[in-house]
Structure 1
């Protein structure tokens, strides 16, 4: 069984948004980091709160996990993938994001 985490680049995420695709972005950073700006359509679920907030994450769609550099979101991906979710990790995280933030 492959536990490899699928990845997506910030550019690819931007492309999906530009095309008007319905994508689920989940930002797992801490509150103070998100306060400095997140991708407008991203939902904020702190990494530490994912286990108790699983019901907010739809199992029928794929989710793109985001953090500052891509490391915490990778942990989130590992956890969610184990739990049966379809996830991708945005490599490079918000440090590499060049699109809109709010």
Structure 2
């Protein structure tokens, strides 16, 4: 599984990179703040929302600490999607949130 550090992700965003970030936390967790531009798809709903994803794009998966997003990566990878897990999750994120 590919990984990216929160600092690397923050730098890519600061450089204006167009990234596809999926936050797999529950909606109440996301309400406390998320990475700007991230789309919330709770882990339990990923399998039902595969039609919203594009196998040509790479997705950066985010959760609270990195565990759920890692599971989401493995699941999506098994369906042929390209994913990267943000190590440490939002607990390690020091960038801006919305």
TM-score of the pair, normalised by structure 2: 0.98
RMSD of the alignment, in Å?
A: 0.5
1:73 matched to 2:59? The reply is no
Shift of 1:32: 0.7
Which residue, 1, 6, 12 being the options, matches 1:10? 6
Shift of 1:58: 1.5
> Deviating runs (4+, > 2 A) in structure 1?
none
Aligned position for 2:88: 92
Unaligned runs of 5+ in 1: none
Which residue, 44, 50, 62 being the options, matches 2:46? 50
Shift of 1:31: 0.8
TM-score of the pair, normalised by structure 1: 0.94
Equivalent position SS for 1:81: helix
Aligned position for 1:30: 26
Paired residue total: 98
Unaligned runs of 5+ in 2: none
